């Protein structure tokens, strides 16, 4: 059992413990993957309070020395991080990429037309300098229009411009929570959440979903959220209410109301990430509308047009306005007002709205290609969803199938890439309908998936 030597330490004890941990890692006394003692046991051994150890572990996680896994413990982290497999490379080999949810790159608006129009805008040179960290008022007002399409009557004074949704998630979580806080997430969730939470010292607590009558995943189980508030002291919850990534589930109004009731009962903050709302066939109320006093909402244009512009918007409860401005300022000072102007002109001119219509039509057409897979396998891909969640037969292994498909020239993501706790697996793969440039390319990829599943089943 690791016991830090803090006898000669001065200052706060929790910092002395974190310093000792860092020193033991540097000397090799602790190595990557080593498990640290349970917090209560270490508190007993050192004769300090449990709160002191909690702060020490939180500080160590903030320094990226350790990583905490709810239900499993705290481990020494790797010195280096692998590049996310979701990150594109400039010179990638030719494959049928169904792994990444890049939304219809061939439908993006004309960049040259947009830049030409922007160059003719009166007073455009004002964008060539510093602006407030939350963005210019005109851009925040356009952001409020975006949220209106998301079912939220947003106050422009509570809107801030970010460098895309990923940046929005990070600064929002920094504004709402403190390092060491536990935040509930879906058992299967957006992979970048793991690194985002770790970088700001938050601990994800994975919770199960409700199971629908057809065996598919529903929304996060509100009873599990209530239990996590009691047991793990979670301070908030991160949700993707529409076309959840990766399970594709869109919450019903009742499911949303049930989760809001738990959040109010235990005073939990809600972070609502909603990138796929533009693909919804029917409007549904946002959490920001159902619980405005505790919900921070995140929107982005990346799934509709021009991910290269890196523009997103966040809408936070009034008390957190100053905090979100500070966090944006600390991370990047401001989102580029130049690309914000470009994105806002696409929104205000109706270009973005027309692209939404084209996106919906394209995804409806591509969804027809799923019929063979639906016939033979349990496939979750609800109306408008840009990705599918394919449950595999028990005799097949999702990781093995994904690797075999890679050899076949098709990239997909196994369920293990979306799970917080590796001890809670699911035998499924996620594939994207939107990344291929053409329907024929998507059809070829789906054909290869079906053929590989057939061959693998015979081999087993």
Please state which of the ranges 214-218, 253-257, 325-329 shows the lowest mean pLDDT.
Answer: 214-218
180 vs 120: which has the higher pLDDT: 120
Please state which of the ranges 107-111, 147-151, 302-306, 454-458 shows the lowest mean pLDDT.
Answer: 454-458
pLDDT of residue 455: 85
Instruction: Give the torsion through C-alpha atoms of 330, 197, 179, 61, to 10 deg.
Output: -110
Please state which of the ranges 101-105, 173-177, 271-275 shows the lowest mean pLDDT.
Answer: 101-105
Q: What is the pLDDT of residues 47-102, one digit of tens each?
A: 999 888 988 888 887 777 888 765 678 888 876 555 555 565 555 556 788 988 87
Residue 321: pLDDT band with limits 50, 70, 90: very high
Mean pLDDT to the nearest integer, 264-290: 91
Please, are residues 181 and 202 in contact by the beta-carbon 8 Å criterion? yes
Q: How many residues are there in the chain?
A: 460
Please state which of the ranges 12-16, 190-194, 411-415 shows the lowest mean pLDDT.
Answer: 190-194
281 vs 296: which has the higher pLDDT: 296
- Percent of the chain clearing pLDDT 90 (strictly above): 52
pLDDT of residue 89: 58
Residue 458: pLDDT band with limits 50, 70, 90: low
pLDDT of residue 85: 53
Residue 441: pLDDT band with limits 50, 70, 90: very high
- Percent of the chain clearing pLDDT 70 (strictly above): 93
Mean pLDDT to the nearest integer, 399-414: 91
Mean pLDDT to the nearest integer, 393-410: 89
pLDDT of residue 280: 84
Q: What is the DSSP string of 395-423?
A: TS-HHHHHHHHHHTTEE-EEGGGGBSSTT
Q: What is the pLDDT of residues 20-43, one digit of tens each?
A: 998 899 888 898 888 999 999 999
Mean pLDDT to the nearest integer, 339-359: 91
Quick check: 436 pLDDT over 90? Answer: no
| C-alpha to C-alpha distance for 240 and 41, rounded to whole angstroms | 37
The phi, psi pair for 108, rounded to 5°, reads -60, 150
Mean pLDDT to the nearest integer, 439-445: 93
Mean pLDDT computed over every residue of the chain = 88
- The two three-digit tokens of residue 281, written as one number: 């066939």
| C-alpha to C-alpha distance for 141 and 160, rounded to whole angstroms | 10
Domains present along the chain, CATH in parentheses: 13-76 (1.10.10.10), 96-107+354-459 (3.90.1150.10), 111-352 (3.40.640.10)
pLDDT of residue 86: 56
Which ranges of 73-221 would DSSP assign to H, the alpha helix? 111-119, 137-149, 164-176, 192-199
Residue 179: pLDDT band with limits 50, 70, 90: confident
Angstrom CA distances, 158 to 23, 161, 263, 297, stand at 43, 10, 21, 11
Listed in sequence order, the residues at least 6 apart from 119 whose beta carbon sits closer than 8 Å to its beta carbon are none
The phi, psi pair for 431, rounded to 5°, reads -135, 150
Please state which of the ranges 125-134, 321-330, 376-385, 450-459 shows the lowest mean pLDDT.
Answer: 450-459
Mean pLDDT to the nearest integer, 157-167: 94
pLDDT of residue 358: 87
417 vs 411: which has the higher pLDDT: 411
Q: Using alpha carbons, select from 92, 70, 89, 66 the residue that is nearest to residue 79.
A: 66
pTM of the model: 0.80
């Amino acid at each position: 059992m690791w016991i830090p030597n803090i006898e000669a330490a001065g200052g706060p004890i929790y910092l002395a413990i974190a310093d000792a941990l860092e020193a033991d890692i540097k000397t090799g006394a602790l190595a990557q993957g080593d498990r640290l003692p349970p917090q209560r046991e270490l508190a007993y051994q050192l004769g300090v309070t449990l709160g002191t150890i909690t702060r020490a572990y939180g500080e160590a996680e903030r320094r990226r020395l350790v990583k905490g896994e709810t239900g499993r413990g705290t481990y020494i982290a790797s010195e280096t991080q692998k590049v996310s497999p979701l990150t594109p490379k400039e010179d990638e080999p030719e494959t049928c990429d169904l792994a990444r949810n890049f939304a219809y790159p061939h439908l993006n608006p004309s960049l040259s037309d947009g830049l030409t129009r922007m160059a003719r805008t009166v007073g455009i040179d004002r964008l060539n300098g510093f602006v407030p960290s939350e963005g210019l008022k005109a851009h925040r007002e356009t952001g409020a229009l975006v949220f209106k399409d998301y079912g939220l009557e947003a106050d422009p004074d509570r809107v801030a411009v970010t460098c895309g949704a990923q940046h929005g998630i990070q600064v929002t979580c920094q504004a709402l929570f403190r390092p060491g806080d536990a935040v509930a997430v879906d058992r299967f969730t957006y992979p970048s959440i793991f690194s985002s939470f770790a970088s700001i010292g938050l601990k994800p607590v994975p919770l199960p979903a409700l199971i629908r009558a057809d065996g598919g995943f529903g929304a996060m189980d509100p009873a599990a959220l209530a239990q996590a508030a009691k047991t793990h002291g979670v301070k908030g919850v991160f949700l993707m209410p529409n076309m959840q990534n990766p399970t594709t589930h869109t919450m019903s109004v009742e499911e949303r109301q049930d989760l809001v009731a738990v959040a109010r009962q235990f005073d939990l903050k809600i972070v609502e990430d909603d990138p796929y709302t533009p693909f919804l066939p029917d409007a549904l109320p946002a959490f920001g509308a159902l619980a405005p006093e505790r919900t921070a909402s995140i929107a982005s244009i990346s799934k509709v047009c021009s991910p290269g512009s890196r523009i997103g918007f966040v809408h936070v409860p009034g008390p957190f306005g100053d905090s979100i401005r500070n966090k944006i300022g600390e991370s990047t000072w401001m989102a580029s007002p130049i690309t914000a102007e470009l994105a806002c002109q696409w929104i205000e001119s109706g270009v973005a709205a027309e692209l939404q219509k084209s996106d919906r039509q394209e995804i409806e057409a591509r969804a027809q290609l799923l019929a063979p897979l639906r016939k033979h396998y349990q496939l979750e891909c609800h109306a408008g969803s840009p990705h599918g969640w394919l449950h595999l037969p028990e005799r097949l292994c999702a990781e093995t199938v994904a690797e075999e498909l890679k050899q076949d020239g098709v990239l997909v993501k196994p369920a293990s890439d979306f799970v917080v706790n590796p001890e809670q697996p699911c035998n499924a793969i996620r594939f994207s309908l939107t990344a291929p440039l053409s329907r024929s390319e998507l059809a070829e990829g789906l054909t290869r998936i079906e053929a590989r599943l057939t061959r693998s089943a015979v081999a087993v």
